[in-house]
Structure 1
Amino acid sequence: MKYNLVAPIAAESLEQQKLIFSCGHKATNGSSWGGLEKTVFANKLAAESGNSFLKIKNKIVSEIGLNLLFLWHFLTDKRYTTMNIHEYQGKEILASYGVRIQRGIVANNPVEAVAAAKQLTAETGTGWHVIKAQVHAGGRGKGGGVKLAKNLQQVEEIAEQIIGMQLITPQTSAEGKKVHKVLIAEDVYYPGESETSEFYMSVLLNRSTGRNMIMYSTEGGMDIEEVAEHTPHLIFTEEIDPAVGLQGFQARRIAFNLGLSGNAFKEMVKFVDSLYNAYIGCDASMFEINPVLKTSDNKIMAVDAKVNIDDNALYRQAKIADMRDIREENPIEVEAKEVGLNYVDLDGTVGCMVNGAGLAMATMDLIKYAGFEPANFLDVGGTADAKRVETAFRIILKDPAVEAILINIFGGIVRCDRVAQGVVDAYKNMGDAIKVPIIVRLQGTNAEIAKELIDNSGMPILSAVQFQEAADQVKAALTK
Structure 2
Amino acid sequence: MRLHEFQAKRLLADYGLVAPRGAVALTADEAEAVARDLGASPVYVKAQIHAGERLKAGGVRMAHGPSMARAAAADLLGQRMTTAQTEGEGETVRRVLVEEGVAALKAVYLALLVDPSADGLVLLGAPDGGEGIEERVREGKLQREKLRLSVATEPDPGELSGFLARVGVEGAANEAASALIRGLRRAFIELDASLIEINPLAVLADGAIKALDVKMTLDDNALFRHPELASLRHEEEVDRVKLSAHRDQLNFVQLDGDIGLVSNGAGLGLATLDMVAKAGGRPANFMDIRTTARSLDIAHGFSLLLDNPRIRTLLINVHGGGMQSCDTIAEGLGVALRRSGRKLPIVIRLAGQNADFARSRLANFGCAVIEAPDMGTAAQQAVAIAAGGTA
What residue in structure 1 maps to residue 253 of structure 2? 344
Identity of aligned pairs, percent? 34
The 1:140/1:344 distance shift into structure 2, 3 A limit, reads same
Whether 1:362 and 2:276 are equivalent positions in the alignment is: no
* Alignment-derived partner of residue 120 in structure 1: 38
Between the aligned partners of 1:394 and 1:167, the Cα distance in structure 2 is 31
Secondary structure of 2:113's partner? strand
Q: C-alpha distance in 1, partners of 2:295/2:15?
A: 49
CA distance in 2, matches of 1:169, 1:86: 15
- Displacement of 1:282: 3.9
Specify every segment of 5 or more residues in structure 1 that has no aligned partner in the other structure, as ranges: 1-82
Letter in 2 for 1:461: V
Report the equivalent of 2:369: 461
2:283 to 347, 357, 374: 374
How far does residue 106 in structure 1 lie from its aligned partner after superposition? Answer: 0.4
Cα displacement string for residues 409-463 of structure 1 (whole angstroms, at most 9, x for unaligned residues): 1234455466446534542x1353x354332222345657766886898655333
> Contact 2:272/2:379 (CA < 8 Å) preserved in 1?
no
Q: Secondary structure at the match of 2:282?
A: coil
Displacement of 1:229 in angstroms is 2.0
Instruction: Give the partner amino acid of 2:48.
Output: Q
Partner of residue 46, structure 2: 132
- Distance in 2 (CA, whole Å) between partners of 1:306 and 1:357 is 27
**Cα shift readout 1:368-402 (whole Å, capped 9, x = no counterpart):** 11333333221224578754442221123444543
- 1:198 maps to 107
- Report SS of the residue matched to 2:232: coil
Which residue number corresponds to residue 93 of structure 2?
Answer: 179
Structure 2 SS opposite 1:141: coil
TM-score by length of 1: 0.72
1:143 to 47, 53, 57: 57
CA distance in 2, matches of 1:443, 1:300: 58
Alignment of 1:269-348 (within 5 A): 269-311=178-220, 314=223, 317=226, 319-348=228-257
Counterpart of 1:471, as a letter, is A
- Kept in 1: contact 2:17–2:180 (CA 8 A): yes
Give the SS at the match of 2:31: helix
Equivalent residue, structure 1, for 2:333:
423
Distance 1:235 1:291 in 2: 14
Q: Which residue of 2 aligns with 1:438?
A: 346
Shift of the 316–292 alpha-carbon distance from structure 1 to 2, 3 Å rule, reads same
**Aligned equivalent of 2:138, options 225, 229, 233:** 229
Contact 1:332 1:398 in 2 (8 A): no
The equivalent position to 1:258 in structure 2, one of 164, 167, 170, is 167
Choose from 319, 330, 345 the match for 1:410. Answer: 319
Matched, 1:391 2:309: no
Question: Post-superposition shift, 1:361?
Answer: 0.7
1:340-371 Cα distance to aligned partner (Å, 9 max, x none): 22223334332211011111010110121133
**TM-score normalised according to structure 2 size:** 0.86
C-alpha separation in 2, matches of 1:353 and 1:171: 28
Q: Measured at CA, do residues 403 and 224 of structure 1 come closer, stay the same or move farther in structure 2, by a change above 3 Å? A: farther
- Separation (CA, whole Å) in 1 of partners of 2:327 and 2:230: 41
Cα 1:403/1:217, change in 2 over 3 Å: farther
Deviations 1:297-339 (A, max 9, x none): 5432210111123456656656544433222222122222222
Which structure 2 segments of 5+ residues have no match?
Answer: none
Kindly state the Cα deviation for residue 110 of structure 1 after the two structures are TM-superposed: 0.2
Deviation at 1:293, TM superposition (A): 1.6
Q: Is the 8 A contact 1:107 1:116 kept in 2?
A: yes
Which SS does the other structure have where 1:368 is aligned? helix
1:272-308 Cα shifts (integer Å, max 9, x gaps): 3343344345443321111112235543221011112
Q: Secondary structure at the match of 1:256?
A: helix
Q: Which amino acid aligns with 1:212?
A: L
Aligned length: 387
Q: Partner of 2:236: helix, strand, or coil?
A: helix
The answer to whether the 8 Å contact 1:287/1:308 transfers is yes
Do the aligned partners of residues 387 and 431 (structure 1) sit closer, same or farther apart at CA in structure 2, a change above 3 Å counting? same
User: How much is the aligned-residue C-alpha RMSD, in angstroms?
Assistant: 3.0
Distance 1:317 1:355, change over 3 A: closer
Counterpart residue type for residue 51 of structure 2: A
Offset, 1:95 = 2.7
Q: Tell me, in whole angstroms, the C-alpha distance in 1 between the residues paired with 2:230 and 2:290.
A: 26
Letter of the structure 1 residue corresponding to residue 196 of structure 2: F
- Measured in 2, the distance between the counterparts of 1:223 and 1:108 equals 28
Query: CA shift at 1:249, angstroms?
Result: 1.2
Change (3 A) 1:209 1:397: farther
